[in-house]
Structure 1
Amino acid sequence: MTDTPSSAPKDPAGGDASVRGGDPHPGSPPNLPPPQGAPTPGPQYGPPGSAPADQPVYGYQQLAAPTTLDVGNAISYGLEKFRSNMAPWLAVTAVGVVIYLTFLLVVQTFEPNSLLSLVLLFLAVMVGLWLLQAAMVRGALHETDGVKPVFGSFFQVLNAGNVLLTALLAFLGTWLGLALCVLPGLAVGVLCMFSLHFVVDQDLGPIDAIRASAMLVARNPVQVLLLALSVVVITLLGLLACGIGVLFAGPVCVLAVTYAYRGLTGGRLVPA
C-alpha cells in the first residue's frame, strides 16, 4: 500500500505556508511580507499624530500642514490687486455706499417712529450689505485665482441663503458676546472672520462654515489677530478720510483677508 504524500503545513493565519513563501516546516512562522498589492491586515494608520485617512476635516481638507501668514504680505497683496483692477472694485464698493445713503434718506424722509419699522428697515439694509460682502469675497477669490473680475463677476455663483444665514449667525453671536462682555464679542467676530469665504469658496452650510472658520483661526491665532487689527486700523483710517476712504479701504481689506484665507488653507494663490 502506497503512502499518500502529506500536504504542506498551514501557517498560523490559515494559509498554505508553501504557497505564501514562508518556511514549509512546522513551527516556523512565515516572516516575509505579503505579496505586492495585497491588503495589509488590521487597521491602517498614518504617521504618529495624524488623523485616520478617511476622517474629514471641515472646510479645508486640502490643508496638509499648518502654514504661516505674513500680515504685511497680505496687506501689500490687497493694495497691489486693488491698484491693478481698481475700477470694478470701486464700482462694487460704491453699491454699499448707495445702500447706506438710501437707508439714511428713508429714515429722514419717513421718520419711522415704531421699533418694528426701524428693525425691519435695519434688517433690509443689513441683508443688502451682507450680500455685497459676499460678492466682494467672490471677487477677491477671482483675484487670488489670477482672474481679474469685472463688475458682473462679483455676483456669480452666490448661494444667497447660506450667505445670509451665515452672516446672521455671526452677527448675532458677535453682538450677544458684546452685550455680555466686550471681549467675548470680539472673540466671536474674529473666529467668524473666514466664515463667508468658506460659504462662497467651498459652498459650506452656515454651521460648517462657522466651524471651519473657527478651526482655522484657532490654528493660527496670533497671525489672524494681527490681521484683524490691521483691517480695523485701515477701515478707521478710511472713515477718517471723510468717509471716502472706505471706497479704498474696503477692497484692500477684503483682498487681504482672502489672501490669508487661501494661504492658511493651502488654496490657490496667484502672486500679485
Structure 2
Amino acid sequence: MSEQPVEMPRPKPQVGLAISWAFDTFRRTPVPFIALAAVVAVIQMVQQVGTQPINNIVLDCNDAQTAGQQAACAAALGGAAVVGVAVMFLFLILAFFATIGVYRAALDTSNGIAPDFKVIFKTENLGRYVVFSLAYAGLVIAGLVLCILPGIAVAFLLQLGPFYILDRGYRPVEAIKASYAAITKNFGPAVVMVLFSLVVSALGSALYGILTLVTLPFATLFIVHMFRQFNGEPVR
C-alpha cells in the first residue's frame, strides 16, 4: 500500500512582509510606477478643476434672496447638475482605465517582470475586467441600498476579483468565487490589508491628490503581494 503524499500547510500571510516588499520594489523602480500613477493623478486633478465652477454656482445660490435670484439659480443649478454628472462620469471612466495600468505593472513585478509604462495600453482581459467591475459595483450598490452592511461585505469579499482577471484571465463569475474563497480563508490578514490600504489611500488624497503618485503604486504593490500570499504563490 503506497503512502499518500502529505500536503504541507501554507504559511500564514504576513502583512509586514508585503509592506516591506512594496516599499523596496517601489524604491528600486519608482519611475514607471510614478508615470502610471501620474496619469491617474492628472485625471483626478482635472476633474476637480472642471467641477469647481459648478461648486461655485452652488455656493452663490445659497445666498439667493429675491424671487428673481432664486429662479436664476434654479435654472443655473439644473444645467450645472447635468454638466457636473457628465464631467464626473467621464473622468471616473478615464481614471478607471488608467488605474488598470498600475495593477498590471504591480502584477508583472510580482512575477519578476520589470514594470513598464506600456502596460497602460494593454487590452488583454479588458472586457472581462469591465464586466466584473460593473457587476461588482452593482452588487455593492444593491447591498448598500438594502442595509449598508451587505454592500460593505460584498466590497470586502470580492475586492481581489480584478487581480484574478488581470493575472489569470478568469471570467467574472470565476473571479468572484476565487476572491470570496481567498478572503474568507484569510479573513484576519484581509481585514488588516483593507484597513492599511484605506489609510494609504486617504493619505493620497492630500495636497490635491499629488501624493497619489506614491500612495497608489505602493498600495497596489502591497495588495498584490497579499494576493500572492493568499494563493500560496511565490513573489519573484
Q: TM-score of the superposition, structure 2-length normalised?
A: 0.78
User: Residue 232 of structure 2 aligns with which residue?
Assistant: 266
**Superposed counterparts of 1:36-55, under 5 Å:** none
Preserved CA contact (<8 Å) 1:78 1:252: yes
User: Residue 35 of structure 2 aligns with which residue?
Assistant: 91
Q: Assess, with a 3 A threshold, how the Cα gap between structure 1 residues 210 and 130 changes in structure 2: closer, same or farther.
A: farther
User: Residue 125 of structure 2 aligns with which residue?
Assistant: 159
Q: Assess, with a 3 A threshold, how the Cα gap between structure 1 residues 185 and 221 changes in structure 2: closer, same or farther.
A: same
- Distance between the aligned counterparts of 1:262 and 1:79, measured in 2? 16
Q: Any idea what the Cα deviations from partners look like across 1:157-196, whole Å, max 9, x if unmatched?
A: 5322111111222222223323333332222111122111
Preserved CA contact (<8 Å) 2:37 2:99: no
Work out whether 1:248 is the aligned partner of 2:192.
no
> Cα distance, 1:242 vs. partner?
5.2
Q: Assess, with a 3 A threshold, how the Cα gap between structure 1 residues 190 and 259 changes in structure 2: closer, same or farther.
A: same
Paired residue secondary structure (2:134): helix
Query: Partner letter of residue 204 of structure 1?
Result: Y
Structure 2: gaps (5+ residues)? 55-75
User: Residue 189 of structure 1 aligns with which residue?
Assistant: 155
Q: Pick one of 93, 101, 107 that aligns with 1:135.
A: 101
User: Residue 143 of structure 2 aligns with which residue?
Assistant: 177
User: Residue 37 of structure 1 aligns with which residue?
Assistant: none
Query: Partner letter of residue 96 of structure 1?
Result: V
Preserved CA contact (<8 Å) 1:78 1:255: yes
Q: Assess, with a 3 A threshold, how the Cα gap between structure 1 residues 238 and 121 changes in structure 2: closer, same or farther.
A: closer
> Cα distance, 1:114 vs. partner?
6.8
Preserved CA contact (<8 Å) 1:67 1:264: no
Which structure has more helix as a fraction of its residues?
Answer: 2
- Distance between the aligned counterparts of 1:171 and 1:231, measured in 2? 19
Q: Higher relative contact order at CA 8 Å, sep ≥6: structure 1 or structure 2?
A: 2
- Distance between the aligned counterparts of 1:122 and 1:166, measured in 2? 21
Q: Any idea what the Cα deviations from partners look like across 1:91-127, whole Å, max 9, x if unmatched?
A: 1111012222333344456888376655444333232
Count, aligned residues = 213
Q: Assess, with a 3 A threshold, how the Cα gap between structure 1 residues 118 and 239 changes in structure 2: closer, same or farther.
A: closer
Q: Assess, with a 3 A threshold, how the Cα gap between structure 1 residues 115 and 205 changes in structure 2: closer, same or farther.
A: farther
Query: Partner letter of residue 25 of structure 2?
Result: K
- Distance between the aligned counterparts of 1:67 and 1:121, measured in 2? 47
Q: Pick one of 26, 36, 45 that aligns with 1:101.
A: 45
> Cα distance, 1:227 vs. partner?
0.7
- Distance between the aligned counterparts of 1:219 and 1:68, measured in 2? 10
- Distance between the aligned counterparts of 2:210 and 2:24, measured in 1? 19
Q: Pick one of 117, 121, 144 that aligns with 2:110.
A: 144
Q: Assess, with a 3 A threshold, how the Cα gap between structure 1 residues 120 and 158 changes in structure 2: closer, same or farther.
A: farther
Q: Pick one of 206, 211, 226 that aligns with 2:172.
A: 206
Q: Assess, with a 3 A threshold, how the Cα gap between structure 1 residues 117 and 158 changes in structure 2: closer, same or farther.
A: farther
- Distance between the aligned counterparts of 1:218 and 1:119, measured in 2? 36
Structure 1: gaps (5+ residues)? 1-32, 34-45, 51-63
Preserved CA contact (<8 Å) 1:227 1:257: yes
Q: TM-score of the superposition, structure 1-length normalised?
A: 0.68
Larger radius of gyration: 1
> Cα distance, 1:230 vs. partner?
0.6
User: Residue 70 of structure 2 aligns with which residue?
Assistant: none
